[in-house]
Amino acid sequence: MSPRIEPEAGPPGRHAAGLFGPAATRRDGNGHALHAPVLVLNASYEPINVCAARRALVLVLKGIAMTEEENGHFLHAARIAMRVPSVIRLLEYRRIPHQSRALSRKNILLRDRNTCQYCATVLSSGELTLDHVIPRSRGGSSTWENLVACCHSCNRRKGNQFPGEAGMKLMREPRAFNLHTSRHIMRLMGRSDDKWRKYLFY
Ligand SMILES: [Zn+2]
């Protein structure tokens, strides 16, 4: 059975965020290789994203990106055998909207590395809650800068108080999800792939 290589999303948007649609979910003979993570570099070699191999192959076939590193697998389709990339690079420089990540519980926990920002305990996502640093009841908003990962025990202790009033201190100032944070996550994902190292660790 030959996989059809087609983009999941429509044509690429004006900036790079539009290039990365949701990863394919269809299973086929090449399924595993097609889901392998691929590091995406801007034309300037700056790492900007991670996508599924399937998406990376579409970008290469459409002439939007070129393969910089291969992962050693082949994709066998009807008339072609293609090397599956491990790293691709966009041929044209794209402006990256640095703070385009959606504000969500998942992304807050990612940013805070599943660590309670008051007592530094690392917990599973299910054991963490979100704390409004300035309590909602006192005018605190639901923003990147006012939400942090928090364990239930710290959350109870803090209640409707400011951290200072409860004798608590934040490990670090909460910030929007920026390129630095994304790069940290790309590093975690690429830890097992030697071919990513020279682009991520410098
Ligand atoms: Zn805690």
Q: What is the pLDDT of residues 175-202, one digit of tens each?
A: 876 666 677 777 766 666 778 878 876 5
Cα of 129 vs centre of ligand 1, distance in Å, is 10
User: Can you give the pLDDT at residue 90?
Assistant: 95
Half-sphere exposure in the Cβ direction for 169 (13 Å, CA): 2
Residue 76: strand pairing partners: 81
Q: How far is the CA of 172 from the centre of ligand 1 (A)?
A: 14
Cα–ligand 1 centroid distance for 55 (angstroms):
39
DSSP string for residues in the chain: -------SSSS--SSGGGG--PPP----TTHHHHHSEEEEE-TTS-EEEEEEHHHHHHHHHTTSEEEEEEEEEEEE-SS-EEEEEEEEEESS-----TT-S---HHHHHHHTTTB-TTT--B--GGGEEEEESS-GGGT--SSTTTEEEEEHHHHHHHTTS-TTTTT---SS------HHHHHHHHHHHTTT-HHHHHHH--
Q: Which of left, alpha, beta for 124 (phi over 0: left; psi -120 to 50: alpha)?
A: beta
Domain definitions of the chain by residue range: 16-98+179-200, 105-158
Centre of ligand 1 from the C-alpha of residue 190, in Å: 29
Q: Ligand 1 mean position to 160 CA, how many Å? A: 15
**What is the CA(43)–ligand 1 centre distance, in A?**
42
Ligand 1 geometric centre to CA of 33 (Å)? 40
30 Cα to the center of ligand 1, angstroms:
44
Least confident of 6-10, 59-63, 110-114, 195-199: 6-10
Its pTM stands at 0.52
User: Which of 29-43, 62-76, 112-126 reaches the highest mean pLDDT?
Assistant: 112-126
* pLDDT category of residue 1 using cuts at 50, 70 and 90: very low
CATH class (in words) of the domain with range 105-158: mainly alpha
- Specify the pLDDT at position 11: 39
* CA of 119 relative to ligand 1 center, distance in Å: 4
Instruction: Give the separation between CA 172 and CA 144, rounded to whole angstroms.
Output: 13
Ligand 1 mean position to 67 CA, how many Å?
Answer: 44
Q: What is the mean pLDDT of residues 55-78?
A: 89
Per-residue pLDDT, 81: 80
At 30, is the pLDDT very low, low, confident or very high (cuts 50, 70, 90)? low
Using the mean position of ligand 1's atoms as its centre, give its distance from the Cα of residue 128 in Å: 9
> Rounded mean pLDDT of 42-52?
85
Q: In Å, what is the CA distance from 134 to each residue of 31, 48, 131, 194?
A: 46, 32, 9, 43
